[in-house]
Chain A
Amino acid sequence: MARLKVPVTPHDHIRGPADAPVTLIEYGDYECPYCGAGDEMIRELQKHFPGRLRSVFRHFPLYEVHLNAEAAGQAAEFAAAHGRFWEMHESLYQNQERLGLPLLFELAKDLGLPEAELRRVLDTGEYAPKIRDEARGGVRSGVNGTPTFFIDERRFDGPLTFDGFVAAIEARLDPKPSLWSRWLGRRT
């Protein structure tokens, strides 16, 4: 069973209550359509488990096949430097079909972030090492495609459906049935 090798710290991008008992970590790519669909589902899960689920996003761009993914990741990090990571993150996914440089500048403008600074960030690749390091950590943890999710420290290999996540998160919140489920083979 693959396990998260890089623990969550306050330096991570965290959505939801800091003291939530369960953490859902996603390794994702801004050009991956499944990640886009997954982001909406994560927000629904957080509504389903109010106060009990926080989500973390880490970069895992597939550089060779998603040519816009890294630049989008840098734009998200640029927004993070201004305290606006999640707004940029959600907007990137909501406008995924238009992903490309013009969209990055448009979203930065919508958030009132300085265009010149974004241009500099993209030119210099200021956040490229951070993104690559996150992806490397993901590889070490057993990321096997995008998106890959971990519930706390365990990779989630179940079906990437709302019900699949609800069952796994409930098992974390109430470990007793999860112990039974190991004996019974499945949670009833």
Chain B
Amino acid sequence: MAKILAAGTVAPGFKLRVTADQWLSLSDLKGRPVILAFYPSDWSPLCADQMVLYNEVLPDFRALGAELLGISVDGVWSHQAFAKDRHLHFPLLSDFHPKGAVARSYGAYREDEGVCERALFVIDGNGVIFWSYLSPIGVTPGADGILEALEALSNQSKQDGQAEGSSHAA
């Protein structure tokens, strides 16, 4: 099993295709928390699909100020059809060429199968990994860990803000 990047590590930058003519880089989202959800492939059975579930929880992620990005090695046209079929309201990034390079940089690539692990990262507004989780093979992770991490991050930011405020006062 892969060893994924741990909390405290600077999140490796990337620039990946979202559609045939649009790209998205991690630095575009600097200043707010980002959820990276690596998953093996589009089109897993609907009712148990991780992206379908996260799509339902999207308002709660956004309420915590976070952006959600799904990443797999599927091509942009597969992503487009999949997103349309499942009514997804967040970007799916295509780690297609060179295949799995971004997943590999996060330690979230299954070399033997040539697909992404089911691995989750919450990255803070400064581009540092705040929380990461690698799901056991065959088990789809829920959204509970992500929400708890986002809340902890939000509480920490508030405390930091207070500490900064008091040091200025002193």
The chain A residues found within 8 Å of chain B, CB to CB, are 2, 5, 29, 32-35, 62-65, 135-136, 139-148, 157
Q: Is B48 an interface residue (CB 8 A)?
A: yes
Listed from nearest, the 3 A-B pairs whose CB atoms lie closest are A145-B48, A142-B142, A64-B87
Category for how many chain B residues contact A: 20 to 34
Could you name 18 residue pairs across A and B whose Cβ atoms are closer than 8 Å? A29-B47, A32-B47, A33-B47, A62-B46, A62-B47, A64-B52, A64-B56, A65-B46, A65-B87, A136-B60, A139-B143, A140-B147, A141-B144, A142-B145, A143-B53, A144-B139, A145-B50, A145-B52
Q: Is B67 an interface residue (CB 8 A)?
A: no
List residues of B (125-160) whose CB comes within 8 Å of A's CBs: 139-145, 147
Interfacial chain B residues near A33, Cβ < 8 Å: 47
Contacts A65-B86, A139-B142, A144-B142; is A35 near B47 (CB within 8 Å)?
A: yes
Assess whether B142 is in contact with A64, with CB atoms less than 8 Å apart: no
Least Cβ–Cβ distance between A61 and chain B, in angstroms = 9
Q: Is B55 an interface residue (CB 8 A)?
A: yes
Taken together as a complex, chains A and B put the C-alpha atoms of A133 and B147 apart, in Å, by 16
List residues of B (76-120) whose CB comes within 8 Å of A's CBs: 86-89
- Closest residue of chain A to B44, judged by CB? A145
Interface SS of chain A: helix, strand, loop or mixed? loop
Interfacial chain B residues near A5, Cβ < 8 Å: 144
Contacts A32-B47, A34-B47, A145-B47; is A65 near B57 (CB within 8 Å)?
A: no
Contact for B56 among A32, A63, A141, A157, CB less than 8 A: A63
Interfacial chain B residues near A144, Cβ < 8 Å: 48, 50, 53, 139-142
Interfacial chain B residues near A146, Cβ < 8 Å: 47-48
Contacts A144-B48, A144-B139, A145-B49; is A2 near B56 (CB within 8 Å)?
A: no
Interfacial chain B residues near A139, Cβ < 8 Å: 56-57, 60, 142-144, 147
Assess whether B142 is in contact with A65, with CB atoms less than 8 Å apart: no
Interfacial chain B residues near A34, Cβ < 8 Å: 47-48
Interfacial chain A residues near B88, Cβ < 8 Å: 64
Least Cβ–Cβ distance between A36 and chain B, in angstroms = 10
Assess whether A142 is in contact with B144, with CB atoms less than 8 Å apart: yes
Taken together as a complex, chains A and B put the C-alpha atoms of A151 and B87 apart, in Å, by 32
Interfacial chain A residues near B47, Cβ < 8 Å: 29, 32-35, 62, 145-147
- Closest residue of chain B to A135, judged by CB? B56
- Closest residue of chain B to A3, judged by CB? B144
Taken together as a complex, chains A and B put the C-alpha atoms of A77 and B1 apart, in Å, by 45
Interfacial chain B residues near A145, Cβ < 8 Å: 47-50, 52-53, 140
List 17 extra interface pairs beyond A145-B50, A145-B53, CB under 8 A. Answer: A2-B142, A34-B48, A62-B53, A64-B52, A64-B55, A65-B86, A139-B144, A139-B147, A140-B144, A141-B144, A142-B145, A143-B142, A145-B49, A145-B52, A146-B47, A147-B47, A148-B142
Least Cβ–Cβ distance between A30 and chain B, in angstroms = 12
Taken together as a complex, chains A and B put the C-alpha atoms of A148 and B142 apart, in Å, by 10
- Closest residue of chain B to A29, judged by CB? B47
Interfacial chain B residues near A63, Cβ < 8 Å: 56
- Closest residue of chain A to B55, judged by CB? A64
Assess whether A62 is in contact with B56, with CB atoms less than 8 Å apart: yes
Most A CB within 10 A of own CB, among B47, B57, B60, B89: B47
Assess whether A62 is in contact with B52, with CB atoms less than 8 Å apart: yes
